[in-house]
A and B are shown apart, each in its own frame.
Chain A
């Protein structure tokens, strides 16, 4: 991989990791969901910093250009992130549903109690 491209990619990744950290510090992003981003960033960083390791894997997988290997890795990691998000959404909507149901049940109970009070 050309030296210049290597530098650009490293710069991009480090820059993204800094932004990511700032988001976590400002509590705009939960650590729980930031972890998968950190993980992907570090994995990509390792691959970029050690081109030998990357060319080894590239040969192993039968990919022609190391650059394509980077794109491939990035794609896989993005898919992993999207998957964790889908799981998080499922969980959140399940929780929201339960919450709504409990609110409705409580509201009904309160109204019943108030009515009984009035009738006394």
Chain B
């Protein structure tokens, strides 16, 4: 079975090598693909020097476009399983094979690595947890399914969803709205507990000013995605 880790990276020169090392060490059965979203730092050169497979976007596409390139790569190169793992070191590669086992055991299409099953590790700030809870409730209301961590980017999926994502993927803050899209497509999502770390360095992509935009955009997208069913 061919498995791919997709690592979107935007100015992650400080973290990227550690992330890759972590995967080599904890899940050597995965191929690694870094997506360089037009970083202005050394990310590209660093990856090339260390012989890491890299997709180099000619201009900045944002997280959605970057991750989608990874799914396109997975689709064209016949991968059976693809997983997104953030380039900032938040996601621990230790859980990769646990997610694969869960996918196979439950015969699911996607496994979300959730912080809110065992409540271990970095739980994010109070405000953010409130936001996540809101999305979780919204999805519950619209689909009847409880997803405890719909904003988690640590998601592993099978060939069906690779194809779905290769065809269409939201440009920014894609996670919650793709969750509802998958449920609408009658595919199966399950969750598996993971422990996330706080960012090792650098700033998160969601600042305080952006959070209002974030909340309204994602809530509205979830609703629109619900209308598409």
Contacts and interface: CB of A to CB of B under 8 A. Distances in A.
Interface of A: 93, 96-97, 100-101, 103-105, 107-108
Contacts of A104: 35, 55-58, 69
Contacts of B116: none
Given A97-B171, A100-B65, A105 B72 contact: yes
Interface string B116-142: 000000000000000000000000000
Given A101-B61, A107-B55, 10 more contacts: A93-B171, A97-B68, A100-B57, A104-B56, A104-B57, A104-B58, A105-B69, A108-B53, A108-B54, A108-B73
A94 B165 CA distance: 15
A106 to B, nearest CB: 10
B61 A100 contact: yes
Interface residues of B, number: 16
Contacts of B69: 100-101, 104-105
Nearest to A102: B72
A105 B66 CA distance: 12
Interface of B: 35, 53-59, 61, 65, 68-69, 72-73, 76, 171
B61 A97 contact: yes
Nearest to B65: A97
Which are the 5 A-B pairs with shortest beta-carbon distances?
A104-B55, A101-B69, A97-B65, A104-B57, A103-B58
23 contacts: A97-B61, A97-B65, A97-B68, A100-B57, A100-B59, A100-B65, A101-B61, A101-B68, A103-B57, A103-B58, A104-B35, A104-B55, A104-B57, A104-B58, A105-B55, A105-B73, A105-B76, A107-B55, A107-B56, A108-B54, A108-B55, A108-B56, A108-B73
A13 to B, nearest CB: 38
A108 B69 CA distance: 12
Contacts of A97: 61, 65, 68, 171
Contacts of B54: 108
